[in-house]
Structure 1
Amino acid sequence: MKKIIILSLFLLLIKSYGQQIDPLLTTDLENQEKWVENTMNKLSLDEKIGQLFMIQAYSNKDRKHKAYIKKMIKKYHVGGLIFMQGTPEKQAELTNYYQSTSNIPLLIGFDGEWGLNMRLKNSFRYPWNMTLGAVRNNKLIEQFGERLGEHCKRIGIHINFAPVVDINTNPENPIIGNRSFGENKYNVTEKSIAFTNGMQRRGVLANAKHFPGHGDTSTDSHKTLPFLDFSIERLDSIELFPYKELFKTNLASVMVAHLNVPALEPKTGLPTSISYKVITELLKEKMGYNGLIFTDALNMKGAANYAKPGDIDLAAFLAGNDMLLIPEDVKAAVKKIKRALKNNLFTEKRLDESVRKILKAKYWVGLNNFEPINKIGIQDDIITVKDQLLYNTLMKDAITLVQNKKAIVPIKELTNNKIAYVKLGDSDNVDFTTTLKKYTQVDVISEENLSVLLQKLKPYTTVIIGYHKSNETPWKSFKMSEKELTWLKEISKNNKVILDVFASPYTLLDIQDFNHIEAVLVSYQNSKASQEISAQMIFGAIEIKGKLPVSINHAFPEGTGITTSNLMRLSYTIPEDVDMDSKLLSKIDSLTTMVVDSTMAPGGQVLVARYGKVVYHKSFGYHTYDKKQPVKLTDLYDLASVTKILGGLPMIMKSEEMGLFNLENTLGELLPYLKGSNKDTITITEALSHVGKIKPWIPYYLETVDSISKVPYNNLYRTIRSDEFSIKVAENLFLINSYTDSIYKKIAEAPQRKTEGYRYSGLLFYLFKKYIKDTFHKEMNELNHENFYLPLGATSLGYNPLEKFNATEIAPTEIDDYYRHQILRGDVHDMGAGMMNGVSGNAGLFSNSNDVAKMMQMYLQKGFYGGKRYFESKTIDKFNHRYYEKDSIRRGLGFDKPSLDPEIKASSKYASANSFGHSGFTGTFAWADPDNGLLYVFLSNRVYPVMSNNKLIEKDIRSEIHNLIYQAVH
């Protein structure tokens, strides 16, 4: 009775399949048939039998191996080679050689599921299928297939044994796992079709594996024969589903696995790979598949344990396979097959059927007109910017947020959010933590003792836990240790936790309770791109949109994926992502090298962004010319007059926006002490546009030092801070408090310029410092920190950096021999700002380039950044406007703008009229252009060791780099 039921179900299975179109036919069908028949007519019996074999070849072995492969080609006429380990260049070289020795062109195969890097060094690695299973946009999978096809074709590969179409319903599967697109048959199928279409469009045959389905096994067929005790109904519904759908397309080939499936092959222990019922009756006849059929590797224990070499090959051929992959003994196999033919175990017609299919496939890939592979430029063709861009795009679409209590991700609030990072796992985490720190202060906390760790974490409001496992192969263990599970549990009990898993999503299976974990991210792989992109997602610079390809018990069903919005923080990518040219931008490297070599400046930093994406961010040179301390991207520089737009202007704009004054108010109205002075009636617009005839500069310090010795007067300075002498001018040099009033008095009494028109002056920014203090009853540096720098995450941007940073993190500015008589390192270079306790609107800010970019990007985004509005759009527009353009004055209100005189180089000659920024005396520059989304920051200490060094200015290096940036835009 049981046999009758099984037979009935099998007949139902038969009816559900139709005949597939021949996927090996080409558009020039007549020419293909002619070539196949002509070739067939020339083949001897030995040559026909030889076509059935695809043997493994290596490009990293010695001459003995090369001679062996040649012998297999010449003596046994093997039909193809599957290349294993080596390099792309060597494989191309050997392919040319082997093809030249063969009378019949060889079909070259390869296992490249995630790219050539699966087998070859010095090649590109794409994400694993499990990662790609999380991608919602299947067009990206098609692009991935196309790119793999292009890589394969470039080095002479004709068939790539991919995609894996196994539906991984068993988390304990030791061999498929990360190689599967997931557990959902529809998702697996859609992605398999997309991949196949993409790769075959590029002229490389696809191969669906491992038929009839290797996803629900707990053993490895490389080592033993896996057992699948499922009903025909189950197999038809799950395992066979992708194949049925793929057969409706032009899928070129299938690989049959070594599996024990009693419902399909009742003979005990007979592998599916040598089962006539599975291959001929089911795959070919019932499912109607007409493409090329491969065995899985015949040297695998799942097959090799069943029969001896030769016997297993014959059995595989008799079962209906066309090509026998990686036979253990070709000589024995040929002998067995010839004897079987002689003994009428099969007919020559059956042999011809397979050989014709093999030859059709060879024509399909162009082997009728084989041309040797060009070995020149292989690296340039298979490791490209296009590949990196696609890899990044795939990861952006894959990374998945499966839990997000109270919308903790993305992290929006930075002001009152103290963030720590704790590492779990045994692999690298540098790119993750480095990127996290680009957004705000993130403290890396490590400790061997859990109790001590928990104590250290008490002050933190948010703890990011990164679980990092090897990215070397998809088979590496992803499981958390008992210790790690305990640590995760205890930390999440005491802190708000964001868990980010850089490993298989199955990692989450061992976590018993997610109640105390606020957010769970699955980043799938521990690659550099995955780490960098995931960190950006945590801070909302990139939206999250992946979906879970497998179920995690009852906690997170397959398909779970919480999407997030983009908070419009800076993100980090490659130039081509924003239509810029990497090669052109790389020319900045040679210019910065020249800066150092020509002693224009000891070193510095350059940052380039477009549309809010940083595409070039490099440090160059050293802190000083002794070349002992290389510049890091985190090092701080004295911004000099860039302070005017990042330190003085923010609270001026905010005050105007709040209605505390309007642009037609006068300085006398804002600062009563100026009433009756020659500055009383100057409007804010006139002052900020530098047409108010205010004196450019007052060297206050000269009156406080001896004119001969340049030594500061004892009655005005002390070497130790006190209540009366609390203004720090430099290390061990403190100015008397009352001198601040003297500075304001000097400004008030300074004579006006006699000439009308434009003349740059920094004195106004001293005055606004006083206005802000009198109005808000707080110092300008405190207000800037609270209202702008801290919420922006610009943790290095601020005044008096030595209060927070070590001097070694700050580039020295100058060796002062005229006033402070010391190396200025962390104390402001501008003498007047120094006499204002390091805080002024005209100078005093220090920063690294990344944090300067945050303020500039906020301006570029019309006052919005990180999910927070700092200014109304109209405020930015109001201050970024030329009020005296008719008088040929280029300036906005506080913001510098492109020169109206071609002889004057304030910025790039390509900068638009809407662009804005500022330069600084110390060799700094920051500029943004709303018309094309460009942002540029240049930091250096060109005044080291002396400020008389004008080479950087004379060569106009900052503008030359700016020009390059515009030229790099496509």
Structure 2
Amino acid sequence: MKNKDIRILFLYVLFFFVASCATQKKDKAIVKLIHTPTTIAPVVEDFVIDNSLDDVTIQEPINLFSDRKIWVDSVYNNMTFDEKLGQLFMVAAYSNKGTPHNYAIESLIANQKIGGLIFFQGGPVRQANLTNNYQSKSKIPLFIGNDAEWGLSMRLDSTYTYPWNMTLGAIQDMKLIEKLGNQMGAQSKRLGLQFNFGPVLDINTNPKNPIIGFRSFGEDKYNVAKRAVALMKGLQNQNIFATGKHFPGHGDTETDSHKGLPTVNFSKERLEDVEFYPYREMFKHGLSSVMVAHLNVPSLESRSNYPSSISYNVVTNILKKELGFKGLIFTDALNMKAASNYKKPGEIDLDAFLAGNDILLFPEDVPLGIQTLAKAYEENLFTEKRLEYSVKKILKYKYFAGLNKFKPIETNNLVADLNDAKNDALQYELYENALTVLKNQEGILPIQNLEKQKIAYVKIGDASNTSFVNTLKKYAEVTEVSDSNLDSLQSKLNQYTTVIVGYHKLDSPWKSYRFDGNQLAKLDFIAKNNKTIVAVFANPYALLDVKDFSGIEGLVVSYQNSTIAQEVTAELVFGAIAAKGKLPVSINEDFKTNDGLATTKLNILGFTAPGNVGMNPKILDKIEAVAKKAIDGKMTPGMQILVARKGKVIYQKAFGNFTYGVSPMVADTTMYDVASLTKILSTLPNAMLAYDKKQINMETTLGEMLPIFKSTDKQDIPFKDLLSHYARLKAWVPFYKATIDSKGNPLSAYYRKTTEENFTTKVADDLFLRNDYHDTIMKIIADSKLMPVKKYRYSDFTFIILKEYLEKLTGESLDSLSRNNFFKPLGANYTMYNPLQRKSKNGIAPTEIDTYYRHQLLQGYVHDMGAAMEGGVGGHAGVFSNSMDVAKMMQLFLQKGNYGGHQYFSEKTFDDFNTCYFCAEGNRRGVGFDKPQLGASGPTCGCASMTSFGHTGFTGTMAWADPETEIVYVFLSNRTYPDAGANKLSRENIREDIQEIIYEAIQY
């Protein structure tokens, strides 16, 4: 060989080596992009349009090292012509239609070699099993897709429902929407999908649009584009191909394309400026596929009533050439009347393919479609190159989706995986950010100064309002008022300061959201005659029917009627969250796109999912087993358990029943006798107020506080020692025993069965104590002997004394002080002494069957005998409450005296009372508060910080807060039912074990 020939050969080899390396580098880049699929589309398509031809040419660089190219070419080259045609068809499949339908799909796979399936109604496990079966029977792996615009639940039962696009359109944080896309994508992947046919890019400029509406992000092209890009990024981050739809734009139509052919009369200039804008933005960020709608668009297609889905000008000239889209192109479902009314099966398939679509979705007759395409090929209506273009593109996408190495879907735990607790966590965030306030006249939102409020709620609409009403009642006393006669209704509403109106429509995208005439009249009447807040749990377009907003002081758009939407709306009404959303559409001339007022967030307890405050919900779920153990072991018939962190309630559950027999189930609203929690819920905070006003200090002596203790051995006991249980006082005295005979019957010298003069202190049903016995109790305490050694000794005397002091100091009874100073301002409407004066017995758990003193079932009467002898109002016992109200007070303490923006007492006061002054002497107590154990045993799990504080109660209660972890834990029960004998609840460490689970659940 001559030197010249060698040089030529060397240059030839070098050329191919460089080309090969360059291509290999390109393929490595493509492989890398599989992990960031938002940029797949621009590089996944290596074909270009030859503008001189009606078909396409392939320009695939030589690449000896491309696994993708090898796989695609190998598969393609081994396909028959009919198999290639089959790849163009994506057939509708169902998992709820039974064996005949399943056999029909199998037949299409076996005989027509179809390329994919779009699943509709059914269930996730059934769909997964069918997918595995269908994939096993397909020579070439199938594309699997779902319409899952708001999650898999759009089509499948037993799956999670996320907010509609219109709701997302109100959200201003795009990271949240991308996070949603990630979760939707992960769920799609778990179910074995490659395509989610979304997001919808239609700009809904026509409120009368019957099929898009709520499916659109709104009427502003910029808002739609930003949210669509964010959702797409999330989906494609999970290697799920997003599909922008419905090109060229279905937003301004008044016909449902499932039923007829809608017309879009905009000029091409308008379409390019508005409708195409989201597509251009999506293409920049790597949209994988586009779905072309069945629309009549005269400015883009000259043929009259010619569907855009089969228009060469729309699909090829505009979408491919002018807009430069290189990804997969789907038709909209070919069975829709907008298409099927125009052409017959087979004909519509051919025309759609000739127009430039790659995949024919939901064809009505696949065999006929393939036959028609084959005949068209024979007649030279399209070339092999045109077919190769789409089929190889489909195969490339299958490769990028990993279908070249298909693995069957694992069905174990599938439903649980698709309904993971993190769904709720995100759902709270989404609705918290979507709620939109359009009116807030005179700052009616949030409702404050609860002690001055009397609030009514009126429902309008035909859907559930349970979550909204229940959550409202967790913040304040809210009365449901109804009457079909407007005058009668107003007569009832006249006594209320504020009326909350909830407009509740079925949370179904296919049901009407509009007000009817009677509902509009009712809303208008209420608004004109009352101070009114309206919450609209429906599509914001519902407000188009409201002609006059002038009478409405507060207007909240909640968008949907879901449980979480209702819950967070109640939070907004009372200030646990602030309004952040902006209106995605216009409401006549009253409210414009992007309108939305900010409201004030108050530091009150809200609600969220555990994951949003760094808690593991699966670990918290272990609480249920401990609760069951307590109930099954007859340690208590029922209980309430609440956990809050970082100002959010993340766990609130009721377990068991009122009693061990057939009895009501415990509810969140059930009231319990909280026993010694009374000390820190009622007496102590009032003492802190006195301390804050410098009416008392840590060194104030008992003799200075109350004259009865002067000249006794207790006169020099300092306040600090008294409340630290370090004053040498006796634990308690059974005061009642001196007032009954040897058989336990009440002595006539002390009791009457009915109220009489000087016998008005009600101890229980049909039992009234003489009024002066309180003086006897105080004298017994004053005369009691001190313990000989100064050491920690828990004593009820401390708070009996403190009650006496506070009532003498203020001239008010303790129940009045607590109600006015704390319970009413906090909205603690389930917290009170003597609950039977205000609440039904049916909502109060029984505490004990008393066989030794009152000889009756105690239900609504305080269990503690000494507190009973004080008419139910003791400093050490007597309060009834539920877990939510107890948590409010504990949160107030955790926030060092501030709650709802009101400073009840100073931070210094709280710190002074939460200090353990005698820890060095082995006394763990703070001033009034209990503190964690110093040794082996004590009130907590041993995992709470030393800055934590709380109290426990004899009836089986516990309230604890930890500043370091920002945890509030409340446990309420009636472990004393039917009798207060053996305290198995305490012996088995039930409360402590639950607390330990709570700390174990902390993730960060």
Q: Same fold (TM over 0.5)?
A: yes
Indicate conservation of the 8 Å contact 1:796/1:851, yes or no: yes
Superimposed CA distance per residue, residues 808-855 of structure 1 (whole angstroms, 9 cap, x where no aligned partner) = 221111222222222221111111111111112111111111111111
Q: Match of 2:999?
A: 966
1:443 lines up with 2:479 in the alignment = yes
Q: Match of 1:149?
A: 185
Please report how far the alpha carbon of residue 233 of structure 1 lies from its aligned counterpart in structure 2 after TM superposition.
1.5
Q: Match of 1:326?
A: 362
C-alpha distance in 1 between matches for 2:259 and 2:631: 59
Q: Match of 2:596?
A: 561
Partner SS, residue 970 of structure 2: strand
1:729 lines up with 2:763 in the alignment = yes
Q: Match of 1:949?
A: 982
Q: Match of 2:42?
A: 21
Please report how far the alpha carbon of residue 20 of structure 1 lies from its aligned counterpart in structure 2 after TM superposition.
8.4
Q: Match of 1:759?
A: 793
Superimposed CA distance per residue, residues 904-942 of structure 1 (whole angstroms, 9 cap, x where no aligned partner) = 222121011111111111111111111101111111112
Q: Match of 2:533?
A: 498
Superimposed CA distance per residue, residues 199-239 of structure 1 (whole angstroms, 9 cap, x where no aligned partner) = 11111111100000000101111111111111112111111
C-alpha distance in 2 between matches for 1:560 and 1:25: 45
Q: Match of 1:840?
A: 874
One of 190, 193, 201 as aligned partner of 2:229: 193
| Percent identity over paired residues | 51
1:516 lines up with 2:551 in the alignment = yes
Please report how far the alpha carbon of residue 368 of structure 1 lies from its aligned counterpart in structure 2 after TM superposition.
1.6
C-alpha distance in 2 between matches for 1:306 and 1:542: 52
Amino acid at match of 1:914: T
Alignment of 1:26-65 (within 5 A): 30-65=66-101
1:808 lines up with 2:845 in the alignment = no
Q: Match of 1:6?
A: none
Alignment of 1:96-115 (within 5 A): 96-115=132-151
Indicate conservation of the 8 Å contact 1:431/1:528, yes or no: yes
C-alpha distance in 1 between matches for 2:893 and 2:41: 60
C-alpha distance in 2 between matches for 1:67 and 1:753: 88
Please report how far the alpha carbon of residue 573 of structure 1 lies from its aligned counterpart in structure 2 after TM superposition.
2.3
Give the 3 Å change call, closer, same or farther, for CA 641–195 of structure 1 in structure 2: same
Superimposed CA distance per residue, residues 294-353 of structure 1 (whole angstroms, 9 cap, x where no aligned partner) = 111111111111111111111111111111111112222222222222222222211111
Superimposed CA distance per residue, residues 655-678 of structure 1 (whole angstroms, 9 cap, x where no aligned partner) = 010011211111111112322111
Of residues 849-858 and 619-628 in structure 1, the stretch that sits farther from structure 2 once superposed is 619-628
Of residues 131-140 and 323-332 in structure 1, the stretch that sits farther from structure 2 once superposed is 323-332
Indicate conservation of the 8 Å contact 2:725/2:794, yes or no: yes
Q: Match of 1:571?
A: 606
1:389 lines up with 2:425 in the alignment = yes
One of 464, 478, 498 as aligned partner of 1:462: 498
C-alpha distance in 1 between matches for 2:746 and 2:369: 97
Amino acid at match of 1:835: M
Q: Match of 1:583?
A: 618
1:249 lines up with 2:285 in the alignment = yes
C-alpha distance in 2 between matches for 1:305 and 1:240: 27
1:70 lines up with 2:113 in the alignment = no
Indicate conservation of the 8 Å contact 1:124/1:382, yes or no: yes
C-alpha distance in 1 between matches for 2:977 and 2:140: 71
1:939 lines up with 2:972 in the alignment = yes
Superimposed CA distance per residue, residues 253-291 of structure 1 (whole angstroms, 9 cap, x where no aligned partner) = 111101111111111111111111111111111111111
One of 114, 117, 124 as aligned partner of 1:81: 117
One of 393, 399, 402 as aligned partner of 2:438: 402
Q: Match of 1:786?
A: 820
1:303 lines up with 2:339 in the alignment = yes
C-alpha distance in 2 between matches for 1:201 and 1:954: 52
One of 455, 458, 464 as aligned partner of 1:419: 455
Please report how far the alpha carbon of residue 380 of structure 1 lies from its aligned counterpart in structure 2 after TM superposition.
2.3
Give the 3 Å change call, closer, same or farther, for CA 958–539 of structure 1 in structure 2: same
Q: Match of 2:32?
A: none
One of 629, 633, 643 as aligned partner of 1:598: 633
Amino acid at match of 1:353: Y
| TM-score scaled by length of structure 2 | 0.93
Give the 3 Å change call, closer, same or farther, for CA 20–656 of structure 1 in structure 2: closer
Amino acid at match of 2:980: M
Q: CA RMSD in A?
A: 1.6
Q: Match of 1:907?
A: 940
C-alpha distance in 2 between matches for 1:328 and 1:521: 45
Please report how far the alpha carbon of residue 723 of structure 1 lies from its aligned counterpart in structure 2 after TM superposition.
3.3
Q: Match of 2:697?
A: 662
Amino acid at match of 1:763: F
Q: Match of 1:9?
A: none
Q: Match of 2:166?
A: 130
Size of the aligned set, in residue pairs, is: 949
Q: Match of 2:949?
A: 916
One of 231, 240, 245 as aligned partner of 1:204: 240
Amino acid at match of 1:752: L
Indicate conservation of the 8 Å contact 1:57/1:83, yes or no: yes
1:930 lines up with 2:951 in the alignment = no
One of 200, 216, 220 as aligned partner of 2:252: 216
Q: Match of 1:676?
A: 711
Amino acid at match of 2:282: L
Give the 3 Å change call, closer, same or farther, for CA 144–779 of structure 1 in structure 2: same
Of residues 19-28 and 356-365 in structure 1, the stretch that sits farther from structure 2 once superposed is 19-28
Amino acid at match of 1:632: A
Partner SS, residue 438 of structure 1: helix
Q: Match of 2:929?
A: 895
One of 610, 635, 642 as aligned partner of 2:645: 610
Amino acid at match of 1:930: P
Give the 3 Å change call, closer, same or farther, for CA 23–545 of structure 1 in structure 2: farther
C-alpha distance in 1 between matches for 2:433 and 2:665: 37
Amino acid at match of 2:633: S
Q: Match of 2:895?
A: 861
Partner SS, residue 891 of structure 2: helix
Of residues 318-327 and 690-699 in structure 1, the stretch that sits farther from structure 2 once superposed is 690-699
Partner SS, residue 620 of structure 1: strand
1:166 lines up with 2:202 in the alignment = yes
Amino acid at match of 1:788: F
Amino acid at match of 1:679: K
One of 726, 735, 739 as aligned partner of 1:704: 739
Which sections of structure 1, spanning at least 5 residues, go unmatched?
1-18
Amino acid at match of 1:539: F
Q: Match of 2:687?
A: 652
Please report how far the alpha carbon of residue 252 of structure 1 lies from its aligned counterpart in structure 2 after TM superposition.
0.9
C-alpha distance in 2 between matches for 1:74 and 1:422: 60
Give the 3 Å change call, closer, same or farther, for CA 365–568 of structure 1 in structure 2: same
Amino acid at match of 2:935: D
Moved over 4 A (4+): 23-29
| TM-score scaled by length of structure 1 | 0.96
Partner SS, residue 241 of structure 2: coil
Amino acid at match of 1:912: S
Please report how far the alpha carbon of residue 25 of structure 1 lies from its aligned counterpart in structure 2 after TM superposition.
7.0
Partner SS, residue 931 of structure 1: coil
Q: Match of 1:748?
A: 782
Q: Match of 1:10?
A: none
Please report how far the alpha carbon of residue 181 of structure 1 lies from its aligned counterpart in structure 2 after TM superposition.
0.5
Partner SS, residue 608 of structure 1: strand
Partner SS, residue 422 of structure 1: strand
Partner SS, residue 437 of structure 1: helix
One of 260, 274, 279 as aligned partner of 2:315: 279
C-alpha distance in 1 between matches for 2:143 and 2:743: 87
Q: Match of 1:542?
A: 577
Of residues 178-187 and 759-768 in structure 1, the stretch that sits farther from structure 2 once superposed is 759-768
Indicate conservation of the 8 Å contact 1:502/1:523, yes or no: yes
Please report how far the alpha carbon of residue 572 of structure 1 lies from its aligned counterpart in structure 2 after TM superposition.
2.0
